[in-house]
Structure 1
Amino acid sequence: MHFENSLTFARQLDQSDPLRSYRDRFYIPERNGKPLTYFCGNSLGLQPKTVRHALDQELAVWQQHGVDGWFEGENPWLTIHQRCKKPLAQIVGAKPSEVCPMNNLTVNMHLLLTSFYQPRGNRTKILTIGGDFPSDQYALETHVQSRGLKPDEILIEVFPRTNEYTWRTADILDAIEQHKDSLALVLMSGLHYYTGQVFDMAAIAQKAHKAGVLVGFDLAHAVGNIPLQLHDWGVDFAFWCSYKYLNSGPGGVSGLYVHEKHHETALPRLAGWWGYDESRRFEMTKGFVPMPGADGWQLSTPTVLAMAVHHAALQITAEAGMKALRQKSELLTGFLEFVLNETADLTFMTPANEAERGCQLSLLIPKNGKSTFNYLAEQGIIGDWREPDCIRLAPAPLYNTFEEVWQVGEIFRTK
């Protein structure tokens, strides 16, 4: 699209936006009675207006039924996770049996590593990207140590080339080829938190499988942001959080995916009673018998209130559809890149190719970066500061507008 840097043009885009009504389904933060420009959905999504009703419903069940809420009523808590499976499957491109909401992201990462990282013989190493999200780095390091292995000997990190901010797919594929005889697993983010780069997950999965290596992805910054086809890509497993683009609340319930080809395999796992065969769960017998599919990786009793919020938020994303969300996202981010280029001398760490980025631009500002970020905040622009010199701006298609994007450009112009 040919962009114009004008308020009139921005408003025309908003008028023709098929998703424009979705903004009214969220609470927009305010300061002194004026709405803020919230470009921080990559850190915490906004609150859907349906959340309070969803919580009130479950609170009423607790009030009226007590413990019998697990079994009574239209939606008994015993099967509360099942409400989320269909929309989750739609969002990540999977079958409902392959997904399950549960726990938090890093807990699920450790659970899946227990099952899918099986070092044997010469195949002991894990290939990942250097500078991945810190929680993933810590999880990999300590998980490897818990197996009696040394991270420095096990972890193979692929970094961007010198003087480049993002990874070349060819370099990741070449690294898999180079180390194929020693790899037990490829595990990395599907979308990089710092740069906003989308990785070619289909190509990485195909290359890993050709080498006889399992592959998993952390989708914390990808789920609800970009279209995913985990089942068709043959991804073995994945995990994510729900409080960014899925808008499920601070620290909201996480989720995981396990491809159906692994459902009948006797994979090792750390088990808990909520992953036990539901039809026999209350027999309280010894010997773990897992639920079929991804549900068998559950551990503990689900947090009902968090699950209710998650379900309410998921319905909005699933209703809008990832195709429409992605189309608007590419326009929003492209327009933001255009107006910033028109108004300021900035370096973008995020790829210029719209197919290689989510709804995020990472601005590299080596001098006065923090003061620039503070100035934006004073003007009502809520972004995200990442040390040492990066401002992340993430216009989310469910609730951000093109007029807001134009206003951000104007504020950079006047700084």
Structure 2
Amino acid sequence: MTKHLWTLDAVRKLDQEDPMKHFKKEFYLKESSYYMDGNSLGLLSKRAEQSLFTSLEDWKTSGIDGWTEAKEPWFYLSEKLGDETAPLIGAKPHQVINTGSITTNLHQLLATFYNPAGKRTKILADTLNFPSDIYALKSQIKLRDLDPAQELVQIQSKDGYTLEETHIINQMGEDIALLLLPSVLYRSGQLLDIQRITEAAHKHGIIVGFDLAHSIGSVPHSLDEWGVDFAVWCTYKYLNSGPGGVGGLYVNERHLGRSPGLAGWFSSNKQKQFDMEHELTPAEDAGAFQIGTPHILSSAPLLGSLELFHEAGIDTIRTKSLKLTRLFMDLIHQELSGKGFRIANPMEDERRGGHICLLHKEAASICQALKVEGVTPDFRAPDVIRLAPIAFYTSFEDVFTVVQVLKDIMDQDKHKQYENERGIIA
């Protein structure tokens, strides 16, 4: 932690020097409010709005011809989005496709890559992953007439918030068929060492997949270089595609050409798709892992959003993100000492994703008080306040102000008027 005191003037100097400060005007932000939940749902940008309007106009003016004659032809939209996304994850474009939802895509890739045989029947996961991933893993095990209680190995956490890579590697054995882990843990914000884990797993002959939901758009990746077999992600968090925005998947090129585990209409080679044959000719690229017709109106906003990522550059985004979270931690220590808070995310830059994990026994009521004061946080049971300063639309002064609001809440006991219980949606 920094040894000097952060002042408002010092924080404003950071904003003056910020190479990304001009991007804030690209987003729709409420006056006198501070949005710290972009790791759950990113805000709407003017570019995303315009690209959605373009697809609506294409539908209005072209009807069915929009599939091939639209300004952004729908038949090739998923592939174009894959091409635009590929640089964010360090992948060749033909290995990336934007399609379906994160959980649908996970089911697709598990159906393709989880092939239990002989003594190699188990899946290695963890106890801290988002529930949907675990539901999918258990479902796929059951579909093979196996018992999840026997075949799903979940790595334990020593502190309830983080994982140790050495402990993960020690669980790898000749009985493990597939490994699935989050790149960034959704509660604590811990960034796992993807390269180290992948290399160790491959030495044991294990297929390696990662859920990038809490890292894509915030952290640079080198999936090709690291040799990851597959990955899935959503786009409505850091990628700002909108609620229910289209998901994405990556399949390493060494696996391309195989038939998808779950075949569908858009798994087809595009030149053969309308031959209407009952024998599938799968696409030769990641498009083979699509299933149904693309969701055009939930895909279109991503086109505009990705323009901003290419203009800013993912390395610049990461640099600012780390500075924002570092400032948050410094200010928490400076202003909130002795008020019952504890930081649970890793302190080291190389082990931290894009959000702060702040613990307090009254976290639920504090989050309610923050919202009343114009700050949008994110609560995760039982005691986590997640605060995500997004590089595109969060200033360093915003971070300073949020900590001052939090300090005032605690000094005045404003949270005491609320029940320390989560709402239906936390």
Q: Mapping of 1:164-183 within 5 angstroms? A: 165-176=161-172, 180-183=173-176
Is 1:219 the counterpart of 2:215? The answer is no
Alignment match, 2:72: 75
Is 1:49 the counterpart of 2:56? The answer is no
Alignment match, 1:230: 223
**Unpaired stretches in structure 1, ≥5 consecutive residues:** none
Task: Measure, in 1, the Cα distance between the counterparts of 2:5 and 2:55.
Answer: 48
Residues 91 and 224 in structure 1, CA contact (< 8 A), matched pair in contact too: yes
Alignment match, 2:136: 139
Is 1:184 the counterpart of 2:177? The answer is yes
Residues 49 and 304 in structure 2, CA contact (< 8 A), matched pair in contact too: no
Residues 336 and 405 in structure 1, CA contact (< 8 A), matched pair in contact too: yes
Alignment match, 1:360: 355
Amino acid at match of 1:400: T
Moved over 3 A (4+): 1-4
TM-superposed deviation, 1:51: 2.3
TM-superposed deviation, 1:267: 4.5
**Range that drifts further, 325-334 or 348-357:** 348-357
TM-superposed deviation, 1:196: 0.5
Task: Measure, in 2, the Cα distance between the counterparts of 1:149 and 1:121.
Answer: 13
Q: Mapping of 1:145-294 within 5 angstroms? A: 145-161=142-158, 163=159, 165-176=161-172, 180-264=173-257, 266-294=258-286
Q: Mapping of 1:281-320 within 5 angstroms? A: 281-320=273-312
Instruction: Give 1:326's match in structure 2, choosing from 295, 318, 321.
Output: 318
Amino acid at match of 2:77: I
For 1:216, what is the secondary structure of its paired residue?
strand
TM-superposed deviation, 1:111: 0.3
TM-superposed deviation, 1:35: 3.2
Alignment match, 2:99: 102
TM-superposed deviation, 1:280: 1.4
Amino acid at match of 1:312: G
**Unpaired stretches in structure 2, ≥5 consecutive residues:** 411-426
For 2:177, what is the secondary structure of its paired residue?
strand
TM-superposed deviation, 1:268: 4.9
Instruction: Give 1:371's match in structure 2, choosing from 365, 375, 385.
Output: 365
TM-superposed deviation, 1:380: 0.9
Amino acid at match of 1:330: L
Is 1:121 the counterpart of 2:118? The answer is yes
Residues 343 and 412 in structure 1, CA contact (< 8 A), matched pair in contact too: no
Is 1:392 the counterpart of 2:386? The answer is yes
Task: Measure, in 2, the Cα distance between the counterparts of 1:238 and 1:224.
Answer: 14
Over residues 145-174 of structure 1, what are the superposed CA-to-partner deviations in whole Å (9 max), with x where a residue is unaligned? 11111001001111122x463111111111
Residues 92 and 228 in structure 1, CA contact (< 8 A), matched pair in contact too: yes
Instruction: Give 1:35's match in structure 2, choosing from 32, 35, 45.
Output: 32
Residues 105 and 248 in structure 2, CA contact (< 8 A), matched pair in contact too: yes
Amino acid at match of 1:224: G
Residues 92 and 229 in structure 1, CA contact (< 8 A), matched pair in contact too: yes
For 2:358, what is the secondary structure of its paired residue?
strand
Task: Measure, in 1, the Cα distance between the counterparts of 2:349 and 2:16.
Answer: 23
TM-score normalised over the length of structure 1: 0.95
Residues 38 and 383 in structure 1, CA contact (< 8 A), matched pair in contact too: yes
Task: Measure, in 2, the Cα distance between the counterparts of 1:310 and 1:141.
Answer: 31
Task: Measure, in 2, the Cα distance between the counterparts of 1:89 and 1:222.
Answer: 14
Task: Measure, in 1, the Cα distance between the counterparts of 2:54 and 2:260.
Answer: 38
Is 1:335 the counterpart of 2:332? The answer is no
Amino acid at match of 2:223: L
Length, aligned pairs only: 405
**Range that drifts further, 255-264 or 48-57:** 48-57
For 1:363, what is the secondary structure of its paired residue?
strand
RMSD of the alignment, in Å? Answer: 1.4
Over residues 311-344 of structure 1, what are the superposed CA-to-partner deviations in whole Å (9 max), with x where a residue is unaligned? 1111212221110011001100000000011111
For 1:279, what is the secondary structure of its paired residue?
coil
Residues 45 and 248 in structure 1, CA contact (< 8 A), matched pair in contact too: yes
For 1:292, what is the secondary structure of its paired residue?
coil
Amino acid at match of 2:358: L
Task: Measure, in 2, the Cα distance between the counterparts of 1:47 and 1:408.
Answer: 21
